[in-house]
Amino acid sequence: MGKVLNGQWEIMGTNNPAGTLRRMDALTRQDSQLPDSILAANSIVMTADGHSPYAMAQEIKEWCSQHFHYIPDLDEMQVLKSPHYLLQQAQKYGVVAGNCADAAMLSAMLCICDGIPCYFEARAFIKPDNPYQHVVTVAQTEKGLVDFDITKPSNIGDIVISRRYKVKV
């Protein structure tokens, strides 16, 4: 939805993310029903302390951070990859590359497989009239929200989120 060029956010995206988020939701729900997706998600959280939703979400976030490499969209077209495909590639090669929507769908699929409620959140930055440029998964746990923004470049500080659009997964 947005990309970083020379350490700066390039403003691009959409003012109406509903269609993309609905498609992301459909793909994520579909792939969360696959037996090997469930098996992989369960294995990721095996070491979670007490198997609380918060601890499991932290394990999923850590796994995604280690196995997902962010690459910005090269054009303005949003191409969605199946989260099951992303999982298979990460398992096969140790890492998978994709954009923020790919990261959001992968992390949401793993959360759903482990019974953790979550939603997609499209975000606009800096000015209220800027288009939505980014999407993340946010998990709802007994200790509060866990934000899965694993694609934020390390050289970018906190950016003011001017508006949010949420879709429950």
pLDDT digits (tens, 9 = 90+) for 69-121: 998 877 666 788 999 999 999 999 999 999 999 999 999 999 999 999 999 99
Number of domains present in the structure of the chain: 1
CATH code for the domain in which residue 21 is found? 3.10.620.30
How does strand 118-125 pair with strand 161-168? antiparallel
Quick one: pLDDT at residue 148?
96
Query: What phi and psi values does residue 165 have, to the nearest 5 degrees?
Result: -130, 120
- Domain span at residue 91 reads 3-168
**What percent of the chain has pLDDT above 90?**
68
